[in-house]
Amino acid sequence: MIKPHYPHPLIAREGWPFLAASVALALVASFWSPGWSVPLWVIALFVLQFFRDPPRTGSSELRAVLAPADGRIVVVQEAWDPYAQRNALKISVFMNVFNVHSNRSPVDGEVLGVEYFAGKFFNAALDKASLENERNAMVLRTPAGHIVTAVQVAGLVAKRILCYAKTGDILSRGQRYGFIRFGSRVDVYLPPGSRPRVAIGDKVSATTTVLADLPEAIS
């Protein structure tokens, strides 16, 4: 089992300002009127659960592609990868507001490119969200030469995509590389011949769940 590098606490650093502000407001309200503070404490608890970011372990199988995020599988189909310009197997993970929103690399690989696209904010569960919503695409090349694309897609209420990977970086499977605030989706495009190990409707956990196996031969 792999144990990804985890250089941060159990609460995502992206959530610290939101958590601090919500707790501060709840504390002030508690001194002023304990009864009126209850909704603010509920909001603080919601912010806490949204930005939780537990460490994960995953498969060490050489050809395993790991889930890049927590959520539910909404797409498993052949599709055109517009970022690597090739036919691919597309697997999409939809995250609701109760899922962990930290994004992790699905494979070991070198980052060949990262590209941001401004867009709309449709419900991330919809197919059109893949190409019309705000998104950030990262193309990776594995040590065996396979090309894998991971695309962070903003959702209906998501307002910021964060990606820390840069061209030339070397990522490990399960390594944290980004975050999407408040609802989102991640699309993974895999080489033709990849074998899916999930189906539409399955619930998956980042790093822990194997999405697919890469083909033995490079196509």
Residue 69's contacts (CB-CB under 8 Å, 6 or more residues apart) are 93, 95, 99, 100, 101, 102, 103, 104, 184, 186, 204, 206
Model confidence at 144: pLDDT above 90 = yes
Structure tokens at 138: 């990262």
Q: For 130, how many CA atoms within 13 A lie in the half-sphere containing its CB? A: 21
Q: Whats the size of the chain, residue-wise?
A: 219
Contact at 8 Å (CB) between 78 and 143? no
Give the model confidence (pLDDT) of 166-214 as tens digits: 999 999 999 999 988 766 889 999 999 999 999 999 999 999 999 999 9
Query: Which among 185, 195, 75, 199 has a CA at the least distance from the CA of 146?
Result: 195
- pLDDT of residue 115 exceeding 50, the answer is yes
Cα–Cα distance measured from residue 67 to residue 4, given in angstroms and rounded to the nearest whole number: 13
Fold of 64-213: Glucose Permease (Domain IIA) (2.70.70)
Helix (H) / strand (E) element for 154: namely: strand 147-154
Per cent of the chain over pLDDT 70 is 89
Question: Burial of 191 by CB count in 10 Å (0-12 exposed, 13-18 middle, 19+ buried)?
Answer: buried
Q: Where are the domains of the chain?
A: 1-55, 64-213
pTM attached to this predicted model: 0.86
Distance (Å, whole) CA 161 – CA 155: 10
Percent of the chain residues topping a pLDDT of 90: 51
Higher pLDDT, 26 or 125: 26
Tokens 């495009």, residue located: 189
Widest distance between CA atoms in the chain = 67
Q: Is the confidence at residue 3, as pLDDT, over 50?
A: no
Beta carbons of 164 and 178 less than 8 angstroms apart: yes
The helix-helix angle for 16-32 and 34-50 (nearest 10°) equals 170
The pLDDT score that the predictor gives to residue 175 is 92
pLDDT tops 50 at residue 1: no
Q: Residues 37-89: pLDDT tens digits?
A: 888 889 888 888 778 888 888 888 989 999 999 999 999 999 999 999 999 99
Q: Which residues are catalytic?
A: 184
